[in-house]
Amino acid sequence: MNEKIGVYVCECGPNISERIDIDRVLEEISSAEGVKVAKKFGLLCSNDGKNYLADEIKKEELTHLVVAACSPREHEQTFMNVCLEAGLNPYLFQLVNIREQCAWMISDKEEATRMAIKYIYAGISRVTLHKPLLKKELDSIPDVLIIGGGISGIEAALCLAGKDRKVYLVEKTESLGGMVKKFFELLPYQGSNLAVIEEKIEQVQNNENVEILTSSEVEDVRGFLGNFEAVIKSKSNGSETKEIKIGAIIVATGFKLFDPKNIPQYGYGKIENVLDALEFEQMSASGKILLKNGNPPKSVALIHCVGRNEKGYCSKVCCLYSIKFARHLQDKLPGIDVSEFYSDLCLPDKADQDYFEEAKKKGIHFIRADNLELKEKDGKINVEYKVAGGKKDSIAVDMAILAPAMVPSEDTSKLAEILNLPLDETGFFKEVHEMLDPISTPIEGVYVSGCALGPKNIPESIIQSQAASGKILSSLIPGKKIEPEVKVSEIREEFCTGCQTCLSVCFYGAISFDEYKGISVVNEAICRGCGSCVGICPSGAIRSKHFTYPQLYLEVLQALR
Amino acid sequence: MKQDFKPNIVGFLCNWCSYAGADLAGSSKLEIKPYLSVIRVMCSSRVNSNLVLNAFLWGADGVLIAGCHPGDCHYEKGNYYVRRRFALLKKILETLDLEPDRLQLSWISASEGKRYAEVVNKFAEDITRLGPSAFHTNPNI
């Protein structure tokens, strides 16, 4: 053994020194195999302490460093930096936590000392097996691919495009604007006219740092944060494909409407003058609200919650746009009778309640009902329904407008497969954490924004796009290198049997199968070092750096000494 | 005899939740019984059957695995993998003539310092009651 291990016990002021017999600890471990020096110091994380440690590393020509002090969650990085400064590879260092684990939790000084000795022994045994890992630096591409040219995608493009950063905005249809462009107006308090949207579209079109690829779809994506490659297929240019290199991706593919034909009792597609919400938006945009026979309607029923039970979630925006429809109908066709059929009203934002109350004052009927059924009767639509208590009732109207649930857009599952992203039980993309990390995905550098994550209104979609842009702006800085995790998994070829079990547990898609060699391969730039694959590999072929079997076994043995 | 028995317990804690929970227990100065030796792993899913079984074969009286609560895993799904492995290991312990209660899986979040102390102390009590493991006392095994 040629190791020259230095063990330094931090007194942490009185925190450790008063509750652990440090002199006994030093006496015991100074004779451990490989230990060259064992000393104590007042406060190792102080500037004096750091200078002392750096001097010691050089003076004693240490090959490995063990510091017994606080939790690695507190000062591991501090001491790694000291190593770096002193010319010792920072991964040849082990921090042993004797403060939180011993001094602070075990009141009996004798017992705390005994446990501290155990932990330091474990640290000494494992540190000799540490490998001098090297932080790798990879060049990164600051450019961004945005999939979806609706309001979310446009907002993200505007936030991101700049002198040093190009944005590719890929849109499946021929034009930008997405669903919002089909609306005749926004909610009054959200900026009452669509000019704001038009302005944004114009800005993005005039931005020389945005390359707009309409009638195009993403065919394939490979790579990792800072270094993605995507294949874009253009439908208009005779299926021509284009390869682009980007550093990050935002998925903003939006939603589509649930098809009301799936629920026959609404009569959609069978009964004349039963429309869905988008059809009414477009009818209003054309300025001609007319029945099939060319006459304007005298009575309209607005049906909320179409498909809500079937899909199992509230779509959040339908109540408000149905109120918007009702008020628009009253404005355009004075004297019209409008009834809203709802099961629960969703008015989550601060201005929503007033908007609803005003509608009630204007004489719009709000009827809480279920078991709705639409039937054709004498050239009109008869809406049959049940109110609370089970009483049945019905009204006849000229036109019915359905508010169907928002569901994932057409290619969501295909795109999820291409990008290796999870979907939730509703079929929308799944965020890493609904509350704490609401726009991130398990794939670093890939974000989802807007209705691709689930129903939401325009302001919320814009917020998410700005958030995703913020994440990218702060993690993908032009000219700055990317430092991937180095304590990653590695597969020892000679032991891998090619069973591919590891592929099934890797949440990040960091492992692929080399068909030619018949073995699994880890992409170290993607691996996050959780060790799930190590834990599941039936042949012990995978090693997680710094958490290898020998290292953990030595820790177990020291625990049991 | 049992009165003097100080069990040897190995605790595998995940870095993100349970180890942080232990840190919190420490900084809250909560008292724990000095029988548990903590081994930090990045994710509870790293703890595979070999590690647990070897710990028992080498004389551990108890093994605790602690990870993030379901749905909160830092690596999304690691704790689900270890949960399945845990169910299997319980069965294996029976075949080794070890009481399945000597192995415990707990979810402890970074904010649950109090829970950490409770889990560790309760487990230490349970193991003390069970007495030394058969592998510990019978040199023939």
The structure tokens listed for A247 are 């550093």
Low-confidence ranges of chain A (pLDDT < 50): none
Could B25 and A487 be called an inter-chain contact, meaning their C-beta atoms sit closer than 8 Å? no
In three-state form (DSSP H/G/I as H, E/B as E, the rest C), the secondary structure along B74-141 is CCCCHHHHHHHHHHHHHHHHHHCCCCHHHEEEEECCCCCHHHHHHHHHHHHHHHHHHCCCHHHHCCCC
Q: Are residues A163 and A69 in the same domain?
A: no
Could B55 and A556 be called an inter-chain contact, meaning their C-beta atoms sit closer than 8 Å? yes
Chain B nearest-CA distance from A194, in A, is 40
Which of B38, B60, B77 has the CB atom closest to A560's CB atom? B60
For residue A393, give its domain range: 260-406
Whether residue A401 lies inside any domain: the answer is yes
Could A101 and B54 be called an inter-chain contact, meaning their C-beta atoms sit closer than 8 Å? no
* Residue length of chain A: 561
Which of A72, A104, A534 has the CB atom closest to B27's CB atom? A104
- Quick check: A486 and A91 in contact, CB under 8 A? yes
- Quick check: B38 and A102 in contact, CB under 8 A? no
Taking one residue from A and the other from B, the number of pairs with CB-CB distance under 8 angstroms is: 127
Q: Are residues A178 and A120 in the same domain?
A: no
Q: Are residues A30 and A68 in the same domain?
A: yes
Q: What is the pLDDT of residue A1?
A: 60
Confidence of residue B1 (pLDDT cuts 50, 70, 90): very low
Could A100 and B45 be called an inter-chain contact, meaning their C-beta atoms sit closer than 8 Å? no
The residue from A351, A373, A406 where one domain ends is: A406
Which of B31, B47, B75 has the CB atom closest to A507's CB atom? B75
Q: How many domains does chain A have?
A: 4
Whether residue A554 lies inside any domain: the answer is no
Q: Alpha helix locations (H) across A21-150? A: 22-29, 47-59, 72-86, 109-127
Which of chain B's residues have a Cβ under 8 Å away from the Cβ of A556? Answer: 10, 39, 51, 54-55, 58, 60
Could A530 and B82 be called an inter-chain contact, meaning their C-beta atoms sit closer than 8 Å? no
Could A534 and B48 be called an inter-chain contact, meaning their C-beta atoms sit closer than 8 Å? yes
- Quick check: A55 and A62 in contact, CB under 8 A? no
**Contacting residues for A4 by C-beta, under 8 A, at least 6 apart:** A34, A36, A60, A61, A62, A63, A64
- What residue type is assigned to position A317 of the chain? V
Could A532 and B32 be called an inter-chain contact, meaning their C-beta atoms sit closer than 8 Å? no
What's the pTM value of the predicted model, to 2 decimals? 0.72
| Distance (Å) of CA A403 to CA A65, A280, A335 | 66, 10, 23
Q: For A126, which residue in chain B has the nearest alpha carbon?
A: B39
Could B37 and A558 be called an inter-chain contact, meaning their C-beta atoms sit closer than 8 Å? yes
Chain B nearest-CA distance from A40, in A, is 22
Q: What is the pLDDT of residue A484?
A: 84
Whether residue A517 lies inside any domain: the answer is yes
Q: What is the pLDDT of residue A191?
A: 67
Could A100 and B8 be called an inter-chain contact, meaning their C-beta atoms sit closer than 8 Å? no
Could B39 and A559 be called an inter-chain contact, meaning their C-beta atoms sit closer than 8 Å? yes
Residue at token pair 């407008």: A401
Which of chain B's residues have a Cβ under 8 Å away from the Cβ of A555? Answer: 37, 39
Q: Are residues A282 and A401 in the same domain?
A: yes
Interface test with chain B among A106, A532, A539, A543, by most B beta carbons within 10 Å: A532
- Residue-wise pLDDT for B44-96, tens only, equals 999 999 999 999 999 999 999 999 999 888 888 899 999 999 999 999 999 98
DSSP-derived secondary structure for A444-512: TTEEE-GGGSS---HHHHHHHHHHHHHHHHHHS-TTPPB---SS-EEE-GGG-----HHHHH-TT--EE
**Contacting residues for A552 by C-beta, under 8 A, at least 6 apart:** B39, B41, B51
**Taking Cα atoms as reference points, which of A150, A223, A207, A174 lies closest to residue A464?**
A150
- What residue type is assigned to position A430 of the chain? K
Q: What is the pLDDT of residue A269?
A: 96
For residues B139 and B74, the model is more confident at B74
CA separation for the pair A165, A145 (Å, rounded): 11
Q: Where are the domains of chain B?
A: 7-131
The residue from A444, A475, A506 where one domain ends is: A475
DSSP-derived secondary structure for A381-441: EEEEEEETTS-EEEEEESEEEEEEPEEE-TTHHHHHHHHT--B-TTSSB--SBTTTBTTB-
- Which helix (H) or strand (E) is A204 found in, with range? helix A195-206
Which of B10, B23, B41 has the CB atom closest to A100's CB atom? B23
**What CATH number is given for B7-131 in this structure?**
3.40.50
CATH code: domain of residue A266 = 3.50.50.60
CA separation for the pair A348, A320 (Å, rounded): 10
**Taking Cα atoms as reference points, which of A244, A242, A157 lies closest to residue A205?**
A157
Q: What is the pLDDT of residue A196?
A: 85
Could A530 and B10 be called an inter-chain contact, meaning their C-beta atoms sit closer than 8 Å? no
- What residue type is assigned to position A416 of the chain? A
For residue A98, the Cα-to-chain-centroid distance in whole angstroms is 36
User: What proportion of chain B, given as a percentage, has pLDDT over 70?
Assistant: 94
| Distance (Å) of CA A106 to CA A75, A418, A560, B3 | 21, 52, 18, 19
